[in-house]
Amino acid sequence: MKSFRKMTYPYVVWISFIVVAPMFLILLYAFTKEGNAVMDFVFTLDNFKKFFVDSVFIDVLLRSLRVALVTTVLCILIGYPAGYFIAKSSEGVKMRWVLLITFPTWINMLVRTYAWVGILQDDGIVNNILSIIGVRSITLLHTEFAVILGMVYNFLPFMILQIYTALTKMDNSLLEAAADLGADRVRSFLKVTLPLSLPGVLSGITLVFLPAVSSFFIPKLLGGGQYVMVGNLIESQFLTSGDWNFGSAISLIMVIIIMISLYLTKKVDKTELTERRAN
């Protein structure tokens, strides 16, 4: 085993360059501002102050959290029935559905999101169809609706697959046992299926909420200029305004928010388990 361990060294070096070093740079930038001729870096908390004092930025953060939350809830509402339906299908049908759901992810996310631009824009497919049937065209692109639609569309497969996996792992004899003990279908679902699929829902939430809250190209493409989210803010700090220090500070805030939400999901998962034992 020892000799094999050596083979990981190049990987460790690579990871340090690609991941660890940039992280340190972000940390460094976030707590400094551009110095003068004597000193290159000056330590400061101004970047954070700027974010929390200016309500514009807080608004952006809250908007991001709200959009991500709405996306996640919609993904659960659509994903749970879908995952349940697939898990209860026969073996062959199951495979076909799973393939169908994963199939779009083989195409680049950016390309798929551009496709939505084509569908939603003012002279796009939706409005064309509406004009044919004589309905006045409506603005779809560059609205919150478009952004959430794009996010649900992109992240839904993760939710469905997580729930589907959790449900297929469940032993069918548990449902027979519940029926045997007097539970009708609704109560079997509420007392057995649902609690046992909760871990799948939680990991689905992690997989949907996190990318949704930090996504930047979906709001950029589907939300247009008006619809700024944290991801877009960070992007513009680095690419447009050139304020790397402020951009790094926002990134760091996002990292902390993500860590807190990860911790919370883990905790819910754990209390679920311990509660089961304690009660």
Partner 1 sequence: MKKLIQFKNIVKNFDGTLVLKGINLDIYENEFVTLLGPSGCGKTTLLRILGGFLEPDEGSVIFDGQDISGIPPYKRDLNTVFQKYALFPHMNVFDNIAFGLNIKKEPKDIIEQKVMRMLRLVGLEDYSKRGIHEMSGGQQQRVAIARALVNEPKVLLLDEPLGALDAKLRKEMQKELKKIQQEVGITFIFVTHDQEEALTMSDKIVIMKDGEIQQIGTPVDIYNEPINRYVANFIGESNIIDGVMKDDYKVIFENKEFKCVDSGFNKNEEVDVVIRPEDLDIVTPGKGKLRGIVKSVLFKGVHYETIVETSAGTSITVKMTVSEDKPVKNEEANEMMSANDFYIDTLDIDELTDAVIIDRADAQAWNPETEERISITEVRYEVKKEKGSYPVTFSTSAGTSFTVNMFVSDVNKVVDEDYGEEIYAVNFFKKVDEIQESVILDTDLKVWANAYAYDLEDETSVAITDVIYDFDPQNITPGVYDVTFKTQGYVYKVDTTEKSEAGQAVGLMFDPEDIHIMRK
- Closest to partner 1 by CB, 200 vs 219, is 200
For the chain, the distance separating the N- and C-terminal CA atoms, rounded to the nearest angstrom, is 45
Burial class (CB in 10 A: 0-12, 13-18, 19+), 56: exposed
Asked if 5 interacts with partner 1 (CB under 8 A), we say no
Asked if 91 interacts with partner 1 (CB under 8 A), we say no
Three-state secondary structure string covering 10-69: HHHHHHHHHHHHHHHHHHHHHCEEECCCCCCEEECCHHHHHHHHCHHHHHHHHHHHHHHH
Q: Given the rule CB under 8 A, which of 18-26, 42-50, 191-199, 235-243 is the region that contacts partner 1?
A: 191-199
- Applying CB under 8 A, among 70, 192, 202, 258 the residue interacting with partner 1 is 192
> How many residues contact partner 1, by CB under 8 A?
22
Asked if 6 interacts with partner 1 (CB under 8 A), we say no
Q: Which residues pair with 72 in a beta bridge?
A: none
Closest CA to 94 of 165, 199, 193: 165
As given in the structure block, the two tokens for residue 143 are 């609205």
Question: DSSP state, 43?
Answer: E
- Closest to partner 1 by CB, 35 vs 195, is 195
Asked if 270 interacts with partner 1 (CB under 8 A), we say no
- At residue 139, what is the residue type? T
Asked if 169 interacts with partner 1 (CB under 8 A), we say no
At its nearest, how many Å lie between partner 1 and the CB of residue 11?
36
- At 43, give phi and psi (nearest 5°): -70, 135
At its nearest, how many Å lie between partner 1 and the CB of residue 185?
9
At its nearest, how many Å lie between partner 1 and the CB of residue 209?
24
Give the helix/strand (H/E) hosting 152.
Answer: helix 144-168
At its nearest, how many Å lie between partner 1 and the CB of residue 273?
8
Q: Given the rule CB under 8 A, which of 14-22, 33-41, 84-92, 190-198 is the region that contacts partner 1?
A: 190-198
- Applying CB under 8 A, among 55, 90, 173, 240 the residue interacting with partner 1 is 173
Residues forming contacts to partner 1 in the complex (CB under 8 A) are 171, 173-174, 176-184, 187, 191-192, 195-196, 272, 276-279
